[in-house]
Amino acid sequence: MFGIDSPELLVIAIVALVVIGPKELPNLLRGWGKWMAKMRGMASEFRGHVDEMVRQSDLDEVKKQFDAVPGLDLQSLDPTKQIKSMIQEGVTEGEQALGEAKSAFDNPLAEPESAPQIAAEAAPVLSEPAPEAAVVDADAAPAVEPVAPVPAEPAPPKSAAVG
């Protein structure tokens, strides 16, 4: 500890017991323990301040070394600028696409870029009727014969009301 061996520590404890007394010794030891805890706290706080000053001086040295390097621009290495520019590009592309969609929607006479192709050919007509004794496949779709369009009957002429 402080260069005190166990026999010397035993002698100090006996003298303290005789001089201070058995009633006051626990209070004295408790006070001494609180004082030691306070001293340890102050020492650790001081050590923390010293460590912070050392880190700060190391950071200052590193900063000076970076500033001393010619052609090194730390501002260009900022990733937030790159992220902001990429977001801005995406926003402008989105605004352009929105403007194009809005102009296409506002102009109904314009033909869409990919108009669906409608088949102009009629469906083929089955010429042979299916035999009556044929086995029907359960998975196959039933054959549907096309129905010829029925001409519309002309509307009767309106007659003048008699009467």
Mean pLDDT of 40-67: 86
Q: Could you give the CA distance from residue 145 to residue 124 in angstroms, rounded to a whole number? A: 9
Mean pLDDT of 70-97: 83
Q: Calculate the average pLDDT of the chain.
A: 76
Q: What is the pLDDT of residue 69?
A: 75
In this structure, the dihedral spanned by the alpha carbons of residues 29, 31, 32 and 36, taken in order and rounded to 10 degrees, is 140
Position 30 confidence tier, pLDDT thresholds 50, 70, 90: very high
pTM of the model as a whole: 0.32
Position 155 confidence tier, pLDDT thresholds 50, 70, 90: low
Judge contact between 125 and 144, C-beta under 8 A. no
Q: Residue 14: in which H helix or E strand, if any?
A: helix 6-20
